[in-house]
Amino acid sequence: MCLAIPGKIIKIDTKKEHATVDYGDGTKRNANITLVDVKVGDYVLVHAGFAIQLLSKKEAQETLALFREMLSFGEGL
């Protein structure tokens, strides 16, 4: 199964090839941004280290809330 995770662009390198993406809860990772035209503050969908799509803030927050809900479901088992 493939999974893409939404996150917020918080920093872009000087070559505009990579960005630091904040996934929430203190998780930050670098992602390649050559496939999308982004700026700091944009929300993106990241798969296998590549930002593959822009998202609205609402879409990103809804998706992250669903991930949190799925993870918390497993805690009750």
The domain segmentation of the chain, as residue ranges, is 5-75
Q: What pLDDT is stored for residue 26 in this prediction? A: 87
How does pLDDT run across 4-50, given as a tens digit for each residue?
999 999 999 999 999 999 998 889 999 999 999 999 999 999 999 99
Q: What pLDDT is stored for residue 74 in this prediction? A: 67
DSSP state of 58: H
Return d(Cα 20, Cα 13) in angstroms, integer: 8
Q: Say yes or no to pLDDT of 77 above 80.
A: no
Q: What pLDDT is stored for residue 76 in this prediction? A: 61
Q: Say yes or no to pLDDT of 75 above 80.
A: no
End-to-end CA distance of the chain: 22
Q: Answer whether CATH 2.60.290.11 is correct for domain 5-75.
A: no
